[in-house]
Chains A and B, each alone.
Chain A
């Protein structure tokens, strides 16, 4: 039953990703990452024995918790990568704002033209 649920969820998520990329709501680089995640979870959903064997190899007595732990770890890494990207964007934005201010100031000094309203 869980396989059916997770597979259905995966298919719905894949369809949503395709829709978002086609509508230019999601950058393709993010779409690729999510596609990989969906394929991986689909693989594990269709091959539960593979998952059980892996859990046994790692000494995990209750195999499903390995899946939960891996999913949480993946989400944490994703959140961290997102924060790193947001930090870079914030710095880029700040430096662009500074550059605009300096260019407008230079333009005003040279031509007397006031800054453009936002």
Chain B
């Protein structure tokens, strides 16, 4: 069964897509997709993580390919769904973005450039100046426990080349619950080159975080992430 090209522009090389995991973002998703299509000549795949609103329909009307999960998997599970499709189609790279309008599509070209030049395997759109004092303290703790030398550990605005795609499409990556420390450690320890490109991230366009809905959830996430980082960090005897 040949894949439909209804939502794919005529550009032929390199082959890529923008992946947007989304949960209940009907208010902003249409505008976000329009901005992406205006800024980058790339197909947009929206992975609907069981939204209860009209996110999927609105995204499809806006010209995105919509992949609807039959059960909620969370942001990383939804993102990995798109990555698995990218791996199956042997795409050269993917751009992952949040659905809430925090990631400016005008930055896509700057993030993609180092990957196209084969200067790296992964680019992180980095905005460490964003966020509260508490968030920055959390990042500091994450860096301390994981050993990751990364300014913006939680940015979902990334470009992954085909090496990263194939790695993150695998079953080992399905053991991860979040897309930050665990994923970055997996990429780093596989020898992939990761760089950061500064971007500006405006405040979320649509209210509070869908993921961190309460302090209990945040505490659980921090405990999970700090322990995972400590256990999985590269040991001195394995240092490259």
Contacts and interface: CB of A to CB of B under 8 A. Distances in A.
Given A102-B85, A115-B68, A97 B73 contact: yes
B160 to A, nearest CB: 17
A49 interface: no
Given A105-B65, A109-B6, A109-B65, A98 B1 contact: no
Contacts of B1: 106, 110
A105 B77 contact: no
Q: Does more than half of chain B's interface fall in helix, strand or loop, or is it mixed?
A: mixed
B26 to A, nearest CB: 18
A105 B73 contact: no
Contacts of B70: 97, 100-101, 104, 115, 118
A109 B71 CA distance: 20
B22 to A, nearest CB: 13
Given A102-B85, A104-B68, A109-B3, A91 B73 contact: no
A106 B4 CA distance: 8
Interface residues of A, number: 17
A110 B4 contact: yes
A97 B69 contact: yes
A104 B88 CA distance: 15
Q: Which of A100, A101, A115, A118 has the most CB of B within 10 A?
A: A101
A105 B67 contact: yes
A98 B65 contact: no
Nearest to A111: B1
A87 interface: yes
Contact of B4 (A95, A100, A109, A118): A109
Contacts of A61: none
A63 B88 CA distance: 60
B71 A97 contact: yes
A87 B175 contact: yes
B32 to A, nearest CB: 20
A109 B47 CA distance: 15
A94 interface: yes
Contacts of A99: 84
Given A94-B73, A106-B3, A109-B4, A101 B67 contact: yes
Q: Which of A91, A105, A110 has the most CB of B within 10 A?
A: A105
A95 B88 CA distance: 14
Contacts of A102: 67, 81, 84-85, 88
18 contacts: A91-B171, A91-B174, A97-B73, A98-B73, A98-B81, A99-B84, A101-B68, A102-B67, A102-B88, A105-B65, A105-B66, A105-B67, A105-B68, A109-B3, A109-B4, A109-B6, A109-B65, A110-B4
Interface of A: 87, 91, 94-95, 97-102, 104-106, 109-110, 115, 118
Given A97-B70, A118-B71, 18 more contacts: A87-B175, A91-B171, A94-B73, A95-B171, A97-B71, A98-B81, A99-B84, A100-B70, A101-B67, A101-B69, A101-B70, A102-B67, A102-B85, A105-B65, A105-B67, A109-B4, A110-B4, A115-B68
